[in-house]
Structure 1
Amino acid sequence: MKDHETFRNFLNRLIDERSLSLRKLGKISGIDHATLSKIINGKREANLIHLQKLSVSLDIELTTFMHAAGYITEPKQKEDSDIQNSVDLIQKLIKTTNNYDEDFTFEKVKQEIAKYQDYSQTTDGRNKILQEFENKIEKTDSKGPCISQLRTMFFRFSAKKGTVREIALMGAALIYFIITTDLLPDYLLPIGFLDDAVIVQAVLQYMDSKKF
């Protein structure tokens, strides 16, 4: 944990704002209240599983907790280096799981976007997005990273609001979110949905910069 004090302050503030006791937070999060007490008092570091459980129980995106805990730092540069920072983070987190051997690379992210751009513009691809997006949202309990951005993309894609290039890029992100054969499997908690966030991040940057 890179910044335990910041995380402790962040978690304490959430507890105060929501008028929660440690026992109540332990009950809704599935984290033993004694463990929460040690985290709050600086006697134990919160690991990624703790952050994922807190994310779900408090309805706050996992990336917000990861920022507070120091797992994610603000990038010093924009564009591709911003995405690369996220890719590097995920690759480091993969190594902590000990049950997944594939590499997660920036090149693979670009390949996935390119692969689904054209498909999203076909009748089959468009129908898949329109028919399956909400079902996938329900399966994630609407609490995964980047859900709000994906909802905005879905609205724009459905209404065909944007240039042909923008709609194709948004379609690629939506298709990637819907399919089950991701670069990272969804079962790989707590990082199984972070690849969706990187795809969305890349698409948004490519739309802004006219790249790709």
Structure 2
Amino acid sequence: MIYENQKQRDLGATLKSLLKERSLSMRKLSSLTGIDTATISRIISGKQNAKLDHLQLFAVHLGISTEQLFQIAGFDIGTRQVDQHSDFHASVDSINEVLLSYNLFDAQFTTELVRKELIKYEQYALTEEGRRTILEDFRTKVESVNSTGPFIDRLKQMYVLFCESELTSERQAIIGSALLYFILSTDIIPDYVFPIGYLDDAIAVQIVLNRLELMDDKEQSPENNV
């Protein structure tokens, strides 16, 4: 019980600090997350335990990894793993809402703009210079953002795939485009814009994953197995 109370206080102090750093009120966080202001107040004051969905929403809108917030709240993420795939989609699904709340939707960001940037990078990924940029700079960029989480993990997986010699040129170009988008920081949303910097990188990753899934489905269709 003492341990649980301490974790509640730790979580409350962390949320309070993050709100102060981001110049956000509990009412604004309520508007962003859809969580009642009174509930947020009780969680911060330690009078109510936060649920997993509360923590996931706080993480998205306060710019902290879900894993870190879960640990602070006392969840044993070593034995109670969160589905990173669903967490990734939850983050992406909330992007439009966040953009709208910060008046950045359409004016500075659309999925189509990211898609066009990816197309530009596809050909570059197949050049010697583009490949060298990915191989030499990817790990440095990951370290520089000091970030973990679903979309970073996906990028790491893509990097491993990109390095495989058996990868077709088409797949290499598609995967390489997401890696170059991340490395070269040609961001539709500047990385310093809190809390949505890097969310366009997440959109880029999702676009590439969707394209790869379509390719897999096409290759596995009965027409191609005749």
TM over 0.5: yes
Q: Indicate the percent of aligned positions where both proteins have the same amino acid.
A: 34
Deviation at 1:64, TM superposition (A): 3.3
Deviation at 1:34, TM superposition (A): 7.2
Partner residue of 1:112 out of 112, 117, 122: 117
Q: Distance in 2 between matches of 1:64 and 1:39?
A: 27
What SS is found at the alignment partner of 1:189?
coil
1:150 aligned onto 2:158? no
Corresponding position of 1:179: 184
1:23 aligned onto 2:31? no
Cα 1:151/1:66, change in 2 over 3 Å: closer
Corresponding position of 2:63: 52
Q: Distance in 1 between matches of 2:150 and 2:98?
A: 16
Cα deviation, 1:121-171, whole Å, max 9, x if unaligned, reads 111111111111111111222325411111111011122342111111000
Cα 1:193/1:169, change in 2 over 3 Å: same
Q: Distance in 2 between matches of 1:39 and 1:175?
A: 46
* Range moving further from structure 2, 166-175 or 146-155: 146-155
Q: Distance in 1 between matches of 2:160 and 2:88?
A: 28
Corresponding position of 2:173: 168
Q: Distance in 1 between matches of 2:47 and 2:171?
A: 44
Deviation at 1:38, TM superposition (A): 7.2
Cα 1:34/1:49, change in 2 over 3 Å: farther
Provide the aligned C-alpha RMSD in A.
3.7
Partner residue of 2:135 out of 110, 130, 145: 130
CA contact (8 A) 1:161 1:167 kept: no
Q: TM (normalized to structure 1)? A: 0.65
Unaligned residue ranges in structure 2 (runs of 5+): 20-40, 71-81, 219-226
1:37 aligned onto 2:45? yes
Larger Rg: 2
Deviation at 1:90, TM superposition (A): 2.9
CA contact (8 A) 2:122 2:177 kept: yes
Q: Distance in 2 between matches of 1:35 and 1:49?
A: 17
Letter in 2 for 1:155: V
Cα 1:91/1:28, change in 2 over 3 Å: closer
Corresponding position of 1:64: 87
Corresponding position of 1:97: 102
Letter in 2 for 1:205: N
CA contact (8 A) 1:51 1:65 kept: no
Cα 1:193/1:34, change in 2 over 3 Å: same
Letter in 2 for 1:25: L
Partner residue of 1:202 out of 196, 200, 207: 207
Cα 1:155/1:41, change in 2 over 3 Å: closer
Q: Distance in 1 between matches of 2:206 and 2:9?
A: 37
Cα deviation, 1:21-49, whole Å, max 9, x if unaligned, reads 2222345563479762379479xx97677
Count of residue correspondences: 174
Cα 1:65/1:34, change in 2 over 3 Å: farther
What SS is found at the alignment partner of 1:21?
helix
Unaligned residue ranges in structure 1 (runs of 5+): 1-14, 73-84
* Range moving further from structure 2, 106-115 or 138-147: 138-147
Corresponding position of 2:37: none
Q: TM (normalized to structure 2)? A: 0.61
Q: Distance in 1 between matches of 2:47 and 2:199?
A: 24
